Amino acid sequence: MKKLLLVLLFVPLVSFGQIESVYYASGASKYESKDYYGAIADYTKAIELNPNNPKTSVAYLKRGDAKYRLKDFDGAIADHTKAIELNPNNPKTSAAYLNRGDAKYRLKDFNGAMADYSKAIKFDPDYSLAYSNRGNVKSILGDEYGAIADYNKAIELDPIYANAYHNRGISKENIGDLNGACFDWKKAISFGNSNSAEWVRNQCN
């Protein structure tokens, strides 16, 4: 009788996990095909199965990404916040902070965005995108030297980071270093940033 009871209890647990995995896989597939509404529906079903399990933080993170793509920035912030709360020490937490920062940036909460980018860097000191994005915020807030320092770090971590070169060029122009700006824009072009070509045509000899 005990063996039978154990089997009966064990089977639903396995099925539950399998169902959750199906929703994760389906959500990922729909996200990749840019069916963001479908991805949100699948991740929501995965969350409903186990809403407060730390492992569910990944579903909140992915659903937040999909909401961001649909310009639901408040919804994205809420999901990334939940992902952080559920599993604050997850290696993916740096991505949650970065993505939440991006959503705050789009809502023009620049101080909030900068705080989140800094937290992403704290979790992952080699996160070149977080340095670059924080540099963008510092530039908007008028701290061009701080922005340049962040772009420097992003480029140090990723020497072919075209956007970091482009944006560092803009910050250098803003502090009057046109030669340095032109150098950066030309480097950005060489690494694939076609937008820099217009800056070179208009600003550089």
Helix ranges (H only) for 124-195 are: 128-140, 144-157, 162-174, 178-190
**Final residue in a domain of this structure, among 123, 158, 192:** 123
Q: Are residues 68 and 146 in the same domain?
A: no
pLDDT of 9: 43
Q: Are residues 119 and 142 in the same domain?
A: no
Q: What average pLDDT does range 91-117 have in this prediction?
A: 96
Q: Are residues 142 and 203 in the same domain?
A: yes
Q: Are residues 32 and 111 in the same domain?
A: yes
Q: Are residues 118 and 134 in the same domain?
A: no
Q: Are residues 188 and 154 in the same domain?
A: yes
Q: Are residues 53 and 135 in the same domain?
A: no
Q: Are residues 87 and 167 in the same domain?
A: no
Whether residue 13 is predicted with pLDDT greater than 60 in this model: the reply is: no
pTM score: 0.87
**Residue 139 is part of a domain; what is its CATH number?**
1.25.40.10
Q: What average pLDDT does range 92-99 have in this prediction?
A: 93
Listed range (2-11, 90-99, 110-119) with the worst mean pLDDT: 2-11
Q: Are residues 94 and 173 in the same domain?
A: no
pLDDT band (50, 70, 90) for residue 154? very high
> Would you say 161 and 129 are in contact if contact means Cβ atoms under 8 Å apart?
no
Domain containing residue 189: 126-205
Domain count of the fold of the chain: 2
pLDDT band (50, 70, 90) for residue 17? low
pLDDT per position as a tens digit, 186-200: 999 999 999 999 999
